[in-house]
Chains A and B, each alone.
Chain A
Amino acid sequence: MDHAFSKHEFAILIEDDILLSSDALLWFDKVYRLGLLHDGRNWAIAGQSIFFDSRGRDVDQDFVATASRFALEQNLVNKFTVHQFVPSACFATTRRWWAEFRSTRGEPRGDVLLCNRTKEEGWGCVFPIVPRAKDVGMLHDYGFSVTIHSKDGVQAITTPYLTSEDLLSERPVRPSDLEQFEGDAGLLFRQTTLLEGYSPGKKAREQVATAASDAKDWGRAAAVWNALREEFPEEPRYWLRAGEAFCEARMIEPAERLLDEAVRLFPQHKWLAYRHVRVAHEAGKWGEAVARSERLREESPEFWPGWVAGVDALAMLRRGDEAKDLALRAVSRFPDEFWPNYWLARLRADGDPQGALHVWTELVSRFPEEPVAAAALKSASGKAPESETIFDTPPRPLDR
């Protein structure tokens, strides 16, 4: 880049796993000519987009066709947004701004450091709504991500299913057409990248959200369920599923805020109360989890998850005797429910390593369809008993 700027005021950096749309050079040139890098707010121009990105998921051709029509109708190919990060693989900047951030970009993991700095210092980067470039090398055997994380470990996959190349035959870009997108960027993101579609009904959005939860795509599930919750706050199920997704995505603070409000709005909803216990678990507030589980048992003594959550919290607090006593009472009250029996078995097995095999064998014989029991038996059969204690992270029942 230093070499390029020795001769030019403006340059484009492209990593070797990018494919350009045929109007990519025009895009960079036109944005540059608009003066967006001269107004003291933007450091760079991106070739990629955060929109129209399937993130590695399959997108059917009907959806792509609808997306194309939508992009054309909304003239999105000529619109841009400004975000506070500079993408690593394809961006353009000026000699002035390169001098400003070249040392950051040149450090090990400089692309990440540059994004952090861009945000912290309040700089912007101009992004197209419709991608002018796409990264095709994230899962390449010689790619940085794969060599560091292995193929299975690469999570941040970008997969644009629509680029400006797909739209150019119908509407070529004109310099005077470029303008900032003034619409609802969050909605557009949900429509195009979270793949909610363009006129989704409540049922269709529920299906998208359910599919994301079922696939354990928790970040996406949290976004879609939370959007439903915001739009239909009278539906406790949306609060519950959003809370679950936030927890599973390890977004504990928003999960706590959401569930605190949910239990106030729906004080009689037992599963929300249970999830409220669980989020205290996830936050490491086990004393609070014990207190919440006690309240849940008092208000809904016939709701077995309240008992299980209490046992779990006591175990995490290393109050083994109390946990065992509560588990015994839970099994006495709910003899045919799996999870109370699981917890009692677990506490017994941990307290009696020599007898663990017998305990788990008995549980499996009673609940042969429960994979958690089978896994526990397998573990007890195949490894030293002292390697597992009640304080290991245990599996938990799902809240439905």
Chain B
Amino acid sequence: MEPISVVIQCFAKTDTLKGLLDSLLCCEGHRDVDLTIWQDSAYGSRREEEFTGAATKVHAFVVDFISEHGPGSGRSITGSMSGIWGRMEHARLRWTMHSASTNLPF
């Protein structure tokens, strides 16, 4: 399979994002994924105060995830993640992260 571009759009749901990324890492062909994670920003949204904390957690989770699974991370992997790391270490995953204020009507 040739490199395939995957764009994940997230916002404030750390638990479901984790589920998605875990399922992506279980996909056949995931080593050929060029991954872009886009996070909509809570800033400037109508319910900014309610979502800022959750969105910050998502951002931190993504940063950790990239550190943990991205190329050249060199991180030591905990036991539960070692299986994934075993598949990932030769992967061609490339990481890009963006955030933006979309002013969605939350």
Partner of B27, one of A25, A108, A144, A148: A25
Q: Are B5 and A7 in contact (CB under 8 A)?
A: yes
Q: Are B11 and A16 in contact (CB under 8 A)?
A: yes
Partner of B1, one of A1, A12, A29, A142: A29
Indicate whether B6 reaches chain A with its CB closer than 8 angstroms.
yes
Q: Are B23 and A142 in contact (CB under 8 A)?
A: no
Partner of A8, one of B23, B34, B98: B34
Q: Are B27 and A17 in contact (CB under 8 A)?
A: no
Indicate whether B73 reaches chain A with its CB closer than 8 angstroms.
no
A346 CB to closest chain B CB (Å) equals: 42
Q: Are B4 and A19 in contact (CB under 8 A)?
A: no
Indicate with 1 or 0, residue by residue over B9-38, a CB within 8 angstroms of chain A CB atoms: 111110111011001101111101110100
Q: Are B29 and A29 in contact (CB under 8 A)?
A: yes
Which residues does chain A contribute within 8 Å of B33, judged by CB atoms? Answer: 25
Partner of A19, one of B19, B32, B96: B19
Partner of B98, one of A3, A17, A24: A3
Assess A17 versus B30: contact at CB under 8 Å? Given A3-B96, A10-B5. no
Indicate with 1 or 0, residue by residue over A133-149, a CB within 8 angstroms of chain B CB atoms: 00011001011100110
- Near B by CB (< 8 A), chain A positions 18-43 give 18-26, 28-29
Q: Output the residue of B4, B9, B15 with the most chain A CB within 10 A.
A: B4
Size class of the B contact interface (CB-based, 8 Å): 35 or more
Q: Are B30 and A14 in contact (CB under 8 A)?
A: no
B73 CB to closest chain A CB (Å) equals: 22
A44 CB to closest chain B CB (Å) equals: 13
Indicate whether A13 reaches chain B with its CB closer than 8 angstroms.
yes
- Near A by CB (< 8 A), chain B positions 78-106 give 96, 98, 104-106
Partner of A16, one of B20, B29, B36: B20
Which residues does chain A contribute within 8 Å of B66, judged by CB atoms? Answer: none
Indicate whether B60 reaches chain A with its CB closer than 8 angstroms.
no
Q: Are B11 and A142 in contact (CB under 8 A)?
A: yes
Indicate whether A4 reaches chain B with its CB closer than 8 angstroms.
yes
Assess A137 versus B28: contact at CB under 8 Å? Given A7-B34, A11-B5, A26-B1. no
Partner of A20, one of B9, B11, B27, B32: B27
Q: Are B3 and A8 in contact (CB under 8 A)?
A: yes
Q: Are B17 and A13 in contact (CB under 8 A)?
A: no
Q: Are B11 and A25 in contact (CB under 8 A)?
A: no
Which residues does chain B contribute within 8 Å of A23, judged by CB atoms? Answer: 27-28
A183 CB to closest chain B CB (Å) equals: 27
Assess A20 versus B13: contact at CB under 8 Å? Given A25-B1, A25-B27. no
* Bound CA–CA A12/B6 (angstroms): 5
* Bound CA–CA A26/B33 (angstroms): 11
* Bound CA–CA A142/B26 (angstroms): 26
Q: Are A16 and B28 in contact (CB under 8 A)?
A: no
Indicate whether A217 reaches chain B with its CB closer than 8 angstroms.
no
Residue of A nearest to B54 (CB): A142
Q: Are A20 and B4 in contact (CB under 8 A)?
A: no
Which residues does chain B contribute within 8 Å of A29, judged by CB atoms? Answer: 1-2, 4, 29
Which residues does chain A contribute within 8 Å of B5, judged by CB atoms? Answer: 4-5, 7-8, 10-12
Partner of B26, one of A5, A22, A28: A22
A87 CB to closest chain B CB (Å) equals: 13
Residue of B nearest to A11 (CB): B5
Residue of B nearest to A3 (CB): B36
Indicate whether A15 reaches chain B with its CB closer than 8 angstroms.
yes
B87 CB to closest chain A CB (Å) equals: 12
Indicate whether B8 reaches chain A with its CB closer than 8 angstroms.
yes
* Bound CA–CA A22/B25 (angstroms): 9
Assess A108 versus B10: contact at CB under 8 Å? Given A8-B34, A16-B17. no
- Near A by CB (< 8 A), chain B positions 39-88 give 47, 51, 54
Which residues does chain B contribute within 8 Å of A147, judged by CB atoms? Answer: 47, 106
Which residues does chain A contribute within 8 Å of B4, judged by CB atoms? Answer: 8, 10-12, 25, 28-29
* Bound CA–CA A29/B1 (angstroms): 8
Partner of A14, one of B6, B34, B54: B6
* Bound CA–CA A3/B100 (angstroms): 13
8 shortest interchain CB distances as A-B pairs: A16-B10, A8-B5, A11-B5, A25-B29, A17-B16, A20-B23, A4-B5, A16-B17
> Apart from A12-B4, A137-B13, what 19 extra A-B contacts exist at CB < 8 Å?
A4-B5, A11-B6, A12-B5, A14-B24, A16-B11, A16-B13, A16-B17, A16-B20, A17-B20, A19-B23, A20-B23, A20-B24, A22-B23, A23-B27, A108-B104, A108-B105, A142-B12, A142-B13, A144-B104
Residues of B that sit less than 8 Å from A by CB: 1-13, 15-17, 19-20, 23-24, 26-30, 32-34, 36, 47, 51, 54, 96, 98, 104-106
